Chains A and B, each alone.
Chain A
Amino acid sequence: MSFINEINKILGQNIREWGMYIALLVIMAFFTITTKGIFLSSRNIGNLINQTGYIAVLAVGMTLVIIISHIDLSVGYLSGFLGAVAATAMEFWHLPLYVSIPLVLAVGILAGMFTGFLVGQMKIPAFVATLAGWLGYRGALQLVTMAKGTIVITNDTFNAIGNGYIPDIPGIGILPGVHKITLILGVLVILFFIINAINKRRKMRSYNIKQSSMYLFIIKLLFMSILIGGITWVLAGYRGLSWTAVVVLIVVLVYHFIMTRTVLGRHIYAVGGNPEAAELSGISVKKITYVVFASMGMLAALSGILFASRFKSATTTAGTLFELDAIAAAFVGGVSPSGGIGKVTGSIVGAFVMMSLTSGMNLMGIDISFQYIVRALVLVAAVVFDVATRKRRKS
């Protein structure tokens, strides 16, 4: 039957992207069944999103870094260090929140530009340059937190970023216990998604690129609507959308826009695809390297703020191994290890896949050693899948 054939063909072409969403669904379904529904409870999903937040923003920055064929190992401890700087600024220097956060973000950009200088200007391999950063920022983190070991943060507004939820309209009788603003936002997102998809389809048809049949298009829209709608419903059942989720959403939207619609994004992909060609076309590879690492530094600062805020403190071990989680999230999310290919949205899904695994296995009470092994297998499977599908497409 032609419909089945078409599904096969579509899966064959975009299997990488679809595979990731399907994998996320399968993982979620599996844990929901094995934990008798606890995994999909509003409370757990809310926590899951807050836990993923500080890795997710790093994964967005890491996507850009890997697209231009570099790597950044320093961001974990940079995130921890900058979280500690934020805590110090508020607790010891008594700076207000609206000064502390921009200050920390600015320091993050500077740190990223320094990495950019080493990699882009001095031509030091990113692995080596950022390994030095890994050591250096780890030391800096210990220096800052040395006095007490832990800096407790007392600013409630700051702590709300990692723990608070957006307010709701008070005094509406219908649907008690459900967060209305979250529901409204969810519906808006679904509408936006559908309109966007229809526009894109119309455009692609005018480009003369063969489109899938109407059935399949509707199935795809339904699938995504149910996914977004489901997440919205689950979130609305607890306390609604958290501030962390809002921050992550803004970061993803801004970066997605930059990467798909702006000249800067196009240049980043061009440098990743073929740096010599980009340079010969008048794109400064050096400038792009600076920009990408500076953005990574800024997102590391944001990650540090989210993490410190979530635990209401800065500790000596904050940020440990974040960089590897972010790199894994990017690879699981379809960023090509050889550069040039990857999407910001993919990396976010990758981050949720990895964090769902951790959360689900924790709920099931699986031993931590097995958790690492399972995550390793998922990472390997994702990259093998990536390489295999790409090869098949080329041949």
Chain B
Amino acid sequence: MTETIPVVEMRNIKKHFGGVQALRGVDLVLHHNEVLGLVGDNAAGKSTLMKILSGAYIPDEGEILIEGKKAHIVNSWDARQQGIEMVYQDLALADNLDVVANVFMGREAVSVNLGPIGIMDEHHMEQETKRLLDRLKIDISSVRLSVENLSGGQRQAVAIARATAFNTKVTIMDEPTAALSVAAIKKVLDLVRELKSQGSSIIIISHRLEDIYQVSDRMMVLRHGRKVCDTPVTGDIDTFREHVVAYIIGARDDFAEGGSKKSNDKLKQG
């Protein structure tokens, strides 16, 4: 379809939980240095689709290509090895640990390698954390503060920084602005723009259409486990909102009836 190889391509993803068909054959494409907004009503399948990409769920059918190569992702470790990081809505950080410990959680740098009881290289981890926060223009007075003492916006910033710290190709953010103050939302959106300007590829799930409008290049609408819209973000905010809501509630559908199947066939041939 395009001349460049997309960083992520998901083809015909299907997933059911018991009798409920959560995803009915969804295709997703994310290009390099692109911000993709993913919207839809509750239970539309957004989170399920992203959890499949990040390895939390295994799809019943379909395939995932990372930079054109077929990837086998069966757990979050695999996904991470492929450079896919997910920022979870509320369970990303350990409150009892400081910023450095959270950023390096599960990937601690060691100075003396003794296997499981390797001695941590606190100095290195701390310098790296400082550098990371500076690069992303995140304002936290000390990297040794325990996370429970940070504000909601700062916590979200730490979670995002953590996800983008280690050669990440794709960062997935699940409702990054939920439960934040207006000022904090602005900061998180600034951070997304900063990441994009530094070359990251990002997928954002959000209920807040104005957030998607502000930072996304393209957006995708899911409804009842199907993709109903996939379009660049253009025009003014009011038309955009009207347009998207029509897809979310099912008044419009670009891939209705045979449409979805046809595009699948095209993909398979290509």
- A residues whose Cβ falls under 8 Å from a Cβ of B: 204, 207-209, 258, 261-264, 266-267, 269-270, 272-274, 276-283, 291, 340-341, 393-394
Q: In the complex, are the beta carbons of A204 and B107 less than 8 A apart? A: no
Known: A263-B116, A266-B120. Is A340-B107 also a contact (CB below 8 A)?
no
A394-B110 Cα distance, complex, nearest whole Å: 32
A307 to chain B, nearest CB (A): 28
A239-B126 Cα distance, complex, nearest whole Å: 46
Residue of A nearest to B56 (CB): A280
A263-B106 Cα distance, complex, nearest whole Å: 9
Q: Which residues of A contact B118 (CB under 8 A)?
A: 262-263
Q: What are 9 A-B residue pairs whose CB atoms fall within 8 Å in the complex?
A: A204-B144, A266-B97, A266-B101, A267-B106, A269-B97, A269-B101, A274-B95, A280-B91, A281-B105
Interface residues of B, count at CB 8 A = 33
Q: Which residues of B contact A262 (CB under 8 A)?
A: 114, 117-120
Which of B36-60 touch A at CB < 8 Å?
A: 56
A283-B104 Cα distance, complex, nearest whole Å: 11
Q: Beta-carbon contacts of B93-125 to A below 8 Å, as 1s and 0s?
A: 111110001000111101000101111100000
A264-B114 Cα distance, complex, nearest whole Å: 10
Q: In the complex, are the beta carbons of B148 and A394 less than 8 A apart? A: yes
Q: Which residues of A contact B144 (CB under 8 A)?
A: 204, 207-209
The secondary-structure label for the interface of chain B is loop
- B residues whose Cβ falls under 8 Å from a Cβ of A: 56, 76-77, 80, 86, 88, 91-97, 101, 105-108, 110, 114, 116-120, 126, 141-145, 148-149
List 14 additional A-B contacts (Cβ < 8 Å) besides A266-B105, A393-B149.
Answer: A209-B144, A261-B120, A262-B119, A263-B118, A263-B119, A264-B116, A267-B106, A270-B101, A270-B105, A276-B88, A278-B94, A278-B106, A281-B106, A283-B105
Q: In the complex, are the beta carbons of B91 and A282 less than 8 A apart? A: no
Q: Which residues of A contact B148 (CB under 8 A)?
A: 394
Q: In the complex, are the beta carbons of A207 and B143 less than 8 A apart? A: yes
The secondary-structure label for the interface of chain A is helix
Residue of B nearest to A288 (CB): B116
Q: In the complex, are the beta carbons of A272 and B96 less than 8 A apart? A: yes
B167 to chain A, nearest CB (A): 15
A250-B91 Cα distance, complex, nearest whole Å: 37
Contact of A261 among B105, B106, B119, B143 (CB under 8 A): B119
A211 to chain B, nearest CB (A): 12
Known: A207-B144, A264-B116, A282-B80. Is A277-B93 also a contact (CB below 8 A)?
yes
